[in-house]
C-alpha cells in the first residue's frame, strides 16, 4: 500500500497567530509533525499544503525536496473557511498514485512514530478502510447542555449513553473512502475502521498560549493524565471530587441555598473537555438523538461542519466529571424498568426539560479556591 501524509499548514490563525510554525521547545510545531512522520518510515509521500510563502520557505530550508514536498494551494483554499475536505481532495488530485492518505494537523506536537507504525500494520492487512485515534475518556451524553432562554437544556434526548471521543491527531483513510464515503458502499460508519487507543498527551492540540505551555511541560518530563475521582457520602448526597480534594469545602463553596432541595442538586458546568463535536456519535451510538435542531446546531453548527474550524462552534457545556453532587435517593438508582423507544428522534422543546440558571455554577468560578483540582493532572 502506498500511503501519503498531508500536513495542512496555513498562516491565518487568529487565536494564536502563526501557530503552525510557532516554536515549541526550540522547534516549530510544523517540524515536530514532519519529523515524527519521517521517523515512522510509513509514508511514501509527505506533503505540506499551504498558501503561505513563509511556510513553504521554512519547509524547503529544513528538509530535502525528496523527503518533504510543498503543495501551494489555489486561492479558493487559502481562506479561513476553506473546507478541510477540499484541501485533502486537492492533495489527492495531485497524488494519483496513492492508495491511502493521512491528514496530520501541525498543532498536535506529541504524536509518536510507533503509533503510526501500528496504523500502517492495520492498513496493510487489507481489512481497514479508515484509521482513527480514540481518546481515553468516556463521559455520559446526558451531561451536555447548551444555553437557552432561562437557563440550559440538554443537548441529547433519549437514554443515557457513554461517549467515546475521537482525536484528530491520527486520521488515515483509503483513497476511495474519505469522510463517510464507506457508507455509500453499504458499510456502517464504524465498520472496517481501526481505532488507535492513544494516550492523553498525544491528543494535546495547540490552539492557545496555555496549550503551548502545557506541551512544553510535557516535553520537559511532566506526566499528564485524567484526574482520579473519589465518591464521598455526605448527608443526603453522593459527592464526587478529585482525589485529595476536600468535599466539605466544596459543599461550603456551593452554599446552603444550592443544597436546600435534594431533588434539585446543583450542577457544575465547564467547557467540554474533550470537545463534544469529537464524540463518536454515529459509529458507537445508533440511538443517540439531539434534543432538537437548536441543540444540534450547537454541537455541529453548519459553518463548523463545512470548514472543520472549531472557532465556528456554538457554546456547549459539560457537567464536570470531577465535581458532582448526586442525590442518594434518585429514580436513576432504582431498578431498571422497560423503556419505550417509540418517540426516539422526535424533537423536544428546551422549555420542557430546562435546567434553571439558578442551579448552575461554573467550574471556572471554583478555580481559585484552595480545594480546587482540574479535570486533568499535570505532575512533574
pLDDT per residue as tens digits for the range 168-183: 999 999 999 988 788 7
Cα 147–chain centre separation: 20
- What does the alpha-carbon distance between residue 167 and residue 315 come to, in Å, rounded to a whole number? 20
pLDDT over threshold 80, residue 45:
yes
Residue with cell 501557530: 19
Q: Are residues 193 and 44 in the same domain?
A: yes
Helix (H, G, I), strand (E, B) or coil at 92: helix
pTM of the predicted structure, to 2 decimals: 0.88
Distance of alpha carbon 73 from alpha carbon 56, whole angstroms: 11
Q: What is the pLDDT of residues 53-67, one digit of tens each?
A: 999 999 999 999 899
Using pLDDT thresholds of 50, 70 and 90, give the confidence band for residue 283: low
Give the single-character DSSP code of 279: B
Q: Are 372 and 247 in contact (CB under 8 A)?
A: no
**Residues 189 and 298 occupy one common structural domain:** no
pLDDT higher than threshold 60 for residue 69 = yes
DSSP reduced 3-state for 218: helix
Is the confidence at residue 89, as pLDDT, over 70?
Answer: yes
Here the cell at position 131 is 484509521
Q: Considering its fold, how many domains does the chain have in total?
A: 2
Q: What is the pLDDT of residues 215-253, one digit of tens each?
A: 999 999 999 999 999 999 999 999 999 999 999 999 999
pLDDT for 320 beyond 80: yes
179 & 110 share domain: yes
Q: Do 103 and 92 form a contact (C-beta atoms < 8 A)?
A: no
Q: Quote the percentage of the chain above a pLDDT of 90.
A: 73
Say whether both 113 and 258 belong to one domain. no
pLDDT of res. 282: 54
d(C-alpha 51, C-alpha 67), whole Å: 20
CA distance 112 to 271: 28
Average pLDDT rounded to a whole number, residues 266-291: 81
Specify whether the CB–CB gap between 198 and 274 falls below 8 A: no
Same domain, 281 and 340: yes
What cell numbers appear for 333 in the block? 438508582
- Specify if 102 maps to a domain: yes
Mean pLDDT of 356-373: 96
Instruction: Judge whether 127 lies within some domain.
Output: yes
Q: Are residues 200 and 244 in the same domain?
A: no
Domain assignment of residue 117, yes or no: yes
293 found inside a domain: yes
Indicate if 176 and 279 belong to the same structural domain: no
pLDDT higher than threshold 60 for residue 285: no
Same domain flag for 286 and 183: no
Q: Give the residue from 4, 3, 50 showing the smallest Cα distance to 30.
A: 50
The whole-angstrom separation of Cα 203 and Cα 166 is 9
User: At 204, is the pLDDT very low, low, confident or very high (cuts 50, 70, 90)?
Assistant: very high
CB neighbour class for 185 (10 Å; exposed up to 12, middle 13-18, buried from 19)? exposed
312 in the same domain as 174: no
**Residue where one domain finishes, among candidates 156, 172, 207:** 207
The answer to whether residue 155 is domain-embedded is no
Give φ, ψ of 354 to 5 degrees.
-70, 135
Q: Which domain holds residue 298?
A: 223-379
Half-sphere exposure of 255 (CA within 13 A, CB side): 7
Where would I find the beta strands (DSSP E) of 84-129? 100-103
Q: Say whether both 251 and 123 belong to one domain.
A: no
**Closest CA relative to residue 31, chosen from 143, 144, 107:** 107
Confidence category of residue 275, pLDDT binned at 50, 70, 90: confident
* Same-domain status, 112 and 193: yes
The enclosing domain of 181 has a CATH number of 3.90.550.10
Rounded to whole angstroms, the Cα distance separating 25 from 143 reads 37
Interior angle at CA 260, CA 254 and CA 263, nearest 5: 105
202 lies in the same domain as 102:
yes
Angle, helices 29-40/53-62, rounded to nearest 10 degrees? 50
**In-domain check, residue 147:** no
Amino acid at each position: 500500500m502506498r500511503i501519503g501524509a498531508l500536513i495542512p499548514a496555513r498562516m491565518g490563525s487568529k487565536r494564536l497567530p502563526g501557530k503552525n510554525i510557532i516554536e515549541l521547545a526550540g522547534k516549530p510545531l510544523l517540524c515536530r509533525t514532519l519529523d515524527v512522520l519521517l521517523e515512522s518510515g510509513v509514508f511514501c509521500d509527505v506533503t505540506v499544503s499551504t498558501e503561505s510563502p513563509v511556510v513553504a520557505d521554512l519547509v524547503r530550508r529544513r528538509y530535502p525536496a525528496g523527503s518533504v514536498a510543498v503543495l501551494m494551494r489555489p486561492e479558493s483554499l487559502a481562506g479561513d473557511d476553506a473546507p478541510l475536505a477540499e484541501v485533502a481532495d486537492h492533495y489527492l488530485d495531485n497524488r494519483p498514485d496513492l492508495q491511502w492518505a493521512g491528514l496530520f494537523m501541525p498543532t498536535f506536537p506529541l504524536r509518536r512514530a510507533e503509533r503510526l507504525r501500528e496504523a500502517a500494520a492495520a492498513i496493510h492487512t487489507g481489512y481497514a478502510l479508515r484509521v482513527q485515534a480514540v481518546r481515553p475518556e468516556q463521559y455520559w451524553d446526558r451531561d451536555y447542555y447548551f444555553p437557552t432562554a432561562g437557563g440550559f437544556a440538554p443537548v441529547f434526548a433519549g437514554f443515557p449513553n457513554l461517549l467515546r471521543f475521537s482525536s484528530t491527531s491520527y486520521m488515515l483513510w483509503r483513497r476511495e473512502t474519505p469522510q463517510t464515503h464507506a457508507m455509500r458502499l453499504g458499510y456502517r460508519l464504524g465498520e472496517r475502521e481501526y481505532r488507535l487507543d492513544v494516550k492523553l498527551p498525544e491528543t494535546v492540540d495547540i490552539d492557545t498560549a496555555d496549550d503551548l505551555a502545557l506541551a512544553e511541560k510535557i516535553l520537559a518530563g511532566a506526566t499528564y493524565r485524567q484526574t482520579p475521582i473519589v465518591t464521598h457520602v455526605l448527608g443526603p448526597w453522593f459527592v464526587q471530587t478529585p482525589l485529595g480534594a476536600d468535599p466539605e469545602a466544596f459543599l461550603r463553596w456551593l452554599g446552603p441555598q444550592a443544597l436546600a432541595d435534594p431533588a434539585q442538586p446543583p450542577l457544575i458546568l465547564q467547557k467540554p473537555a474533550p470537545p463534544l463535536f469529537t464524540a463518536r456519535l454515529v459509529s458507537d451510538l445508533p440511538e443517540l438523538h439531539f434534543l432538537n435542531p437548536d441543540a444540534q446546531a450547537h454541537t455541529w453548527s453548519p459553518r463548523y461542519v463545512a470548514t472543520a474550524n472549531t472557532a465556528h462552534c456554538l457554546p456547549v457545556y459539560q457537567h464536570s466529571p470531577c465535581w458532582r453532587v448526586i442525590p442518594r435517593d434518585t429514580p436513576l438508582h432504582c431498578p431498571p424498568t422497560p423503556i419505550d423507544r417509540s418517540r426516539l428522534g422526535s424533537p423536544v422543546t428546551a422549555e420542557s426539560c430546562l435546567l434553571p440558571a439558578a442551579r448552575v455554577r461554573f467550574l471556572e468560578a471554583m478555580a481559585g479556591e484552595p480545594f480546587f483540582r482540574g479535570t486533568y493532572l499535570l505532575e512533574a
